């Protein structure tokens, strides 16, 4: 049947791509890898708040599973950050400078967001 002829290139290309990324499969972090912090240092990010203005603005940050992200929050008023991991985490901060630690235990993209006003500060690419 002609349809099978269509399937041949598909299978070939997909097989090629599967073998191509076979190497990266090894880099797949195991589910309960505690080792990620051992070889990597902490990642440090400073968040500043002046009234309703925040920095950074939707920055992408690469992070390993279970690696510690140290957030230094420099704010002129107290507030709360929501970390949209599964399940959600919350970071409450006071006015002034404070330091907070954050780890994510599963691969994915996790947004760190301020509420009132709703602004995404960081997108953590956790691998």
Residues of the shown chain interacting with another protein in the complex, contacts defined by CB under 8 A: 2-3, 5-10, 13-14, 16-18, 20-21, 24-25, 28, 31, 57-60, 82, 84-88, 104, 106-111, 113, 115, 118-120, 123, 125-127
> Nearer to another protein by C-beta: 14 or 97?
14
Contact indicator for 62, 125 with CB cutoff of 8 Å: yes
Distance CA 104, CA 123 (A): 12
Find where tokens 């949209």 sit.
84
Q: Name which of 52 and 99 has its Cβ closer to another protein.
A: 52
CB of 111 to another protein, least distance (A): 7
Alpha-helical regions (H) of the chain: 2-20, 22-26, 36-39
Cis peptide before 56 (omega within 30 of 0): yes
Residue 17 or 34 having the CB closest to another protein: 17
Q: How far apart are CB 46 and another protein at their closest, in Å?
A: 18
């Amino acid at each position: 049947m002609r349809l099978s002829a269509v399937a041949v290139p598909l299978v070939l290309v997909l097989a090629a791509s599967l073998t191509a990324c076979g190497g990266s499969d090894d880099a797949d972090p195991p589910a309960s890898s505690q080792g990620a912090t051992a070889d990597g240092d902490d990642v440090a990010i400073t968040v500043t708040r002046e009234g309703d203005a925040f920095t950074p603005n939707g920055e992408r940050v690469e992070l390993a599973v279970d690696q510690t992200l140290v957030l230094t929050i420099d704010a002129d008023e107290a507030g709360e950050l929501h970390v949209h991991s599964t399940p959600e985490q919350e970071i409450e901060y006071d006015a002034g400078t404070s330091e907070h630690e954050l780890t994510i235990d599963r691969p994915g993209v996790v947004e760190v967001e301020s509420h009132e006003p709703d602004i995404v500060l960081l997108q953590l690419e956790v691998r």
